[in-house]
Amino acid sequence: MSGVSIDRVRSGDLRALARAISVVEAGMPVAGLQPSSIPVIGVTGPPGAGKSTLISAMISQMRLAGDTVGVLAIDPSSPITGGAMLGDRIRMQGHAGDPGVFIRSMATRGELGGLAAAARDVMTLMGMAGLDRLILETVGVGQSEVEVMNLADVVVVVVGPGWGDGIQADKAGVVEIADLFVVNKGDRPGAEEVRRALGEVAGDRDVEIVVTTATTGQGLDDLVSAIDGLIER
């Protein structure tokens, strides 16, 4: 595998994992990839909803429970280099020194659907490395960018206050793929109105709605518990 040992990835060597991800991101074939049994938590939603800050708070909750965490954050491509703009990883930098957390940013490089071409193989590698929790964050998505549903076992759609009208517009798109809704920035005006609008859109689907404030930790226990409940179904 271009000098990268898949056995070292399986042993939990995060440096080997990083090198293996670079190989698949470059479009090179990788021998020995085997799907893991670790569920993937997909986090998606419109720009400005606070997805990265929420994921950072989720990581903290999961680490308190003793779990190791792997995150693939899909960023927009830089118009200069074509690489990831790293906005998401910067917002998660509080975990940079934690050996139990592995965070990788990847550019879309023109791929549609809010993801990157190598995303599936990267999540497979993270699972093979033995990380307990796997999180996949899409770029800020619109109505038609629903590819995350094909990679994630649980899809969490995050919105913020003021998205009542946006929710109605997205009714035929990303909102319909949600296994769980999160109204983030719940301490701001408009959060309750958005929660009600989501309830109307969800209709008889019986999708749980959790209100969080990622910056204070409000609702994080409820969020992680709701995700665990969906995984255990």
- Residue 182 is part of a domain; what is its CATH number? 3.40.50.300
Residue 109 pLDDT: 52
Q: Is residue 14 part of a domain?
A: no
In whole numbers, what is the pLDDT of the chain averaged over residues? 84
Rg value, the chain, Cα: 17
In a domain, 228, yes or no: yes
At 105-144, the pLDDT tens digits run 888 754 544 467 788 999 999 999 999 999 999 876 654 4
- Going 23 to 28 to 30 to 34, the CA torsion angle's sign is positive
Structural domain span for residue 78: 36-232
CA-nearest of 201, 147, 136 to 175 is: 201
Tally of structural domains, the chain: 1
Task: Note whether residue 8 is domain-resident.
Answer: no
Whether 116 is covered by a domain: the verdict is: yes
Q: What is the pLDDT of residue 47?
A: 83
Q: Would 143 be classed as within a structural domain?
A: yes
Give me the pLDDT at residue 78, please. 41
How many Cα atoms within 13 Å fall on the side-chain side of residue 129?
Answer: 28
197 part of a folded domain: yes
**pLDDT averages per 10-residue partition of the chain, 233 residues:** 78 94 87 90 90 94 96 67 47 83 80 67 95 91 68 93 68 77 95 89 83 96 97 90
Residue 5 lies in a domain: no
- DSSP letter, residue 97: T
With beta carbons less than 8 A apart as the criterion, state whether 201 and 228 touch: no
Rounded Cα gap, residues 219 and 211, in angstroms: 6
Is residue 16 a part of any domain in this protein? no
